[in-house]
Chains A and B, each alone.
Chain A
């Protein structure tokens, strides 16, 4: 009895290994770059890690097909290399029928983050040959930040221009008021002191010769 079971198992295993042919049919290639991702904290690749991979993939298949009870034995790896890369095929639970590539691809795409997380890797360091990761769109804020900065700069410049244009007008007005006050106080005292006249002498340009150009 025992021998029969053993015979059946080995048969199924050999059949399964026959199913997994690199580059043919429904097989996918996986590549792990653990040392690149984790450096000093890299874990060594061994049979336990392979078991985790098969379990993770079985989970992905279950999750995608919504209940079909895929197990670890339905994931068949082969051609493992030192690079840590290997091929694998997926069979339907309790049968030897291969699951088509499209379904496997969609299942992996759906649970990609979970599979990556199980191995502490990323889309770049755990590669499935032929399955391209959907890229995250670049963050674009609602108001482009450059418009905000532009607004600030233009605001400051406009305030500056208005200030520079208005300031002399305001000064002139104040001076006129002050002069009017001074004249009132002078009329009372009746004395025109030297200070009022001599400081603001008017430059009489009649006597300086500005136009030295010969006539055309």
Chain B
């Protein structure tokens, strides 16, 4: 297959094999990994993020439990693995960050690198806000009882504040005490000072960890990449010993093979694989460029895929033991409450109705005195419904999990452990993120050359902190959801697709194969050839098209926390204001459009220059 687009001057722009060998022997000023373990840990930390804890288990459970693993593993191998090899290989071969790599392949493609940088920046902004929230909860975990176990009292001290009474202590703590959420995105309110302080802490921590580039972050990953595994193990042991844990695990893994017929299952699996691997952010290309030339990148891609897949399943199991425990506890409370109402209503002795004969007793009472039973307003206790409640995203970490932790003995310790784990997961992803922002900025010569690495990191963190204050407002939660939905979805898919096409058809898959042979010693086998040329781009294209179609059809609404809503505490679904379309265009459109727009601008500039040059020659004569 010789389908390669013409690409003149490629050999002049990239180092050839002799240069690579020479660079290998000499000690250049390009940063290097201290050892292979640092590199692997950094990549693992980058790929294994908060999404593994709060997105994958939800997807697994809603799309048929154990059966979801089938599309997940298939797409992991067909989509994730080739893209990983591509990014690792091209970074290691061309020894540049994301902008440098695409500029070397073809100067018209620099837009891909710029798009990667913009996307990394936008994602980094809201990701670090999540880290700030996690830090807030972490700081508040060092007290017993935990502050989200009790509602504050109302004015005459006879009851709790109505907002807290109607929803729950954890809801109130998250939406009111932490965020002070306003009722709409237009109502920005003032700055929430606790969040501003936590944002400051979050950006300072990132700044110090990345202050000298990978020489400092490479040391930090020993903690941030490994600690989550230790904490997950502790939680696994604790979780399995809790009552009702197995209910959760069974619910998670019970396979429902019919779900495999549903196309959304495959789409969600594909999207999850793509985002989980942090592809198209530019960070992985940068990290591989610091490797020695003959590093076995194919092996690294396989190792990383296996580790990410296993970690997702591991984290899902731990999450669902805790969810099962919480659901069982809520179910038991519901039943006890109903029993109490029946005993009080019918004046029966205390032990006459227990949990075991509850159903029989209710049936008996309902048949003999249906009116009284109806008057008592008995709620139905549904275990399945409790297991499926709000278990994704921020809802999982800040509401479901925090509630479950309050019911465990020794809750402050568990809370501290849990939030340290989330903090480490988030920080290690942010290292890759900030690498994907700072290195392209350096390559684009936007900073003066004299500035040391410390100044670059400091300025980037400072500017990002100031922009992040947008999320510290009372409407910050809604802005964050907006960014999450639009900045991180379509642009990444577009960039990923463009990367594949660029490497396979513009750089040339044959040249890439030769490079791999030079670096590792053997050519990629037939699996890689087919997947890099056809299957992976095709899968990405299908996911992108479906995404665009579903987004275009969806009504632009969002969920708000509104105490005045009729069905409070359910979140109200409110349409976005019309100016949000501009914001969405900035978030999703601009990074995607940078690629063609940059190429066009460059084309125009080159043509103009060519026109001016003959004129200059004539004038000189």
Interface residues in A1-36 by Cβ distance below 8 A to B read 31, 33-36
Q: How far is the CA of A132 from the CA of B156 in the complex (A)?
A: 11
Query: Are B454 and A146 interface neighbours, CB within 8 A?
Result: no
* B residues near A36, Cβ cutoff 8 Å: 350
Knowing A34-B350, A145-B143, say if A134 contacts B343 (CB, 8 Å). no
Query: Are A161 and B350 interface neighbours, CB within 8 A?
Result: no
Chain B residue nearest to A148 in the complex (CB): B142
Q: How far is the CA of A164 from the CA of B26 in the complex (A)?
A: 27
User: For this complex, into which size category does the number of interface residues on chain B fall?
Assistant: 35 or more
| A210 → B minimal CB distance (Å) | 9
Q: How far is the CA of A89 from the CA of B135 in the complex (A)?
A: 56
A85 touches B (CB below 8 Å): yes
Of A62-70, A110-118, A135-143, A182-190, the one with at least 4 CB within 8 A of chain B: A135-143
| A129 → B minimal CB distance (Å) | 10
Query: Are B347 and A212 interface neighbours, CB within 8 A?
Result: no
* B residues near A153, Cβ cutoff 8 Å: 135, 139, 201, 205
Of A49-57, A76-84, A98-106, A170-178, the one with at least 4 CB within 8 A of chain B: A76-84
Query: Are A83 and B205 interface neighbours, CB within 8 A?
Result: no
Query: Are B27 and A203 interface neighbours, CB within 8 A?
Result: yes
User: For this complex, into which size category does the number of interface residues on chain A fall?
Assistant: 35 or more
| A58 → B minimal CB distance (Å) | 26
Query: Are B159 and A146 interface neighbours, CB within 8 A?
Result: no
Query: Are A150 and B197 interface neighbours, CB within 8 A?
Result: yes
Q: How far is the CA of A34 from the CA of B9 in the complex (A)?
A: 90
When the two chains form the complex, which single residue of B159, B605, B609 contacts A132, counting CB atoms closer than 8 Å? B159
Interface residues in B261-277 by Cβ distance below 8 A to A read none
Query: Are A84 and B143 interface neighbours, CB within 8 A?
Result: no
Knowing A132-B159, A216-B605, say if A157 contacts B136 (CB, 8 Å). no
Q: How far is the CA of A165 from the CA of B207 in the complex (A)?
A: 12
* B residues near A147, Cβ cutoff 8 Å: 139
Query: Are A31 and B344 interface neighbours, CB within 8 A?
Result: yes
* B residues near A81, Cβ cutoff 8 Å: 347
The contact sample of 26 A-B pairs, CB cut-off 8 A, is A33-B350, A34-B350, A82-B349, A83-B344, A83-B348, A83-B350, A84-B350, A85-B347, A132-B158, A132-B159, A134-B158, A137-B153, A138-B153, A139-B145, A145-B142, A146-B139, A148-B142, A153-B135, A153-B205, A154-B200, A154-B201, A154-B204, A157-B204, A212-B15, A212-B104, A216-B606
Residues of A within 8 A of B (CB): 31, 33-36, 81-85, 132, 134-135, 137-139, 141, 145-150, 153-154, 157-158, 160-161, 164-165, 203, 208-209, 212-214, 216
Contacts A137-B157, A150-B201 known; 19 new A-B pairs at CB < 8 A? A31-B344, A82-B349, A85-B347, A134-B158, A135-B159, A137-B153, A145-B142, A157-B201, A158-B204, A160-B208, A164-B208, A164-B216, A165-B454, A203-B28, A212-B12, A212-B14, A212-B104, A214-B9, A216-B107
